[in-house]
């Protein structure tokens, strides 16, 4: 089975901090994704990567950046955390952009 592992289930940070969310997949998938999920808004795509060192902005990239130095690892970076970035963050991977996505269990991030 594909396993997508997110480094933390719960995280509390302070406003202005630089925050790193890590995601690792073990199935050699080309594509990896970062979403945030908020009540009433569903899943919104922040960034995705279709190859090592390649990235593309999603719908809400402002305030975020990403890094993909190795195929199995995709990191989401909050450059200067703000309270409106409090959310559930979900990482996913897939062998192709239209193929089924495999999700991690999410990181519930609170910015105080």
Closer CB to another protein, 31 or 75, in the complex: 31
Q: How far is the CB of 35 from another protein (least distance, A)?
A: 8
Q: How far is the CB of 17 from another protein (least distance, A)?
A: 24
Residues of the shown chain interacting with another protein in the complex, contacts defined by CB under 8 A? 4, 33, 35, 40-43, 45, 48, 50, 56, 58, 90, 92, 97-98, 100-106, 108
Residue among 8, 57, 3, 14 at smallest CA distance from 34: 57
What Å distances lie between residue 81 and 5, 17, 18, 50, 54, CA to CA?
A: 22, 5, 6, 26, 24
Q: How far is the CB of 58 from another protein (least distance, A)?
A: 7
Query: What one-character DSSP code corresponds to residue 80?
Result: S
Closer CB to another protein, 2 or 77, in the complex: 2
Q: Quote helix, strand, coil % in the chain, to nearest 5.
A: 5, 55, 40
């Amino acid at each position: 089975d594909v396993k997508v592992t997110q480094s933390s289930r719960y995280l509390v940070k302070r406003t202005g901090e630089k925050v790193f969310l890590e995601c690792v997949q073990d199935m050699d998938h080309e594509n990896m994704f970062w979403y945030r999920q908020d009540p009433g808004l569903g899943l919104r795509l922040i960034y995705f990567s279709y190859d090592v060192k390649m990235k593309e902005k999603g719908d809400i990239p402002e305030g975020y950046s990403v890094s993909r130095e190795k195929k199995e690892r995709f990191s989401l970076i909050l450059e200067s955390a703000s309270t409106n970035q409090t959310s559930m963050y979900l990482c996913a991977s897939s062998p192709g952009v239209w193929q089924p996505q495999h999700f991690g269990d999410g990181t519930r991030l609170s910015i105080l």
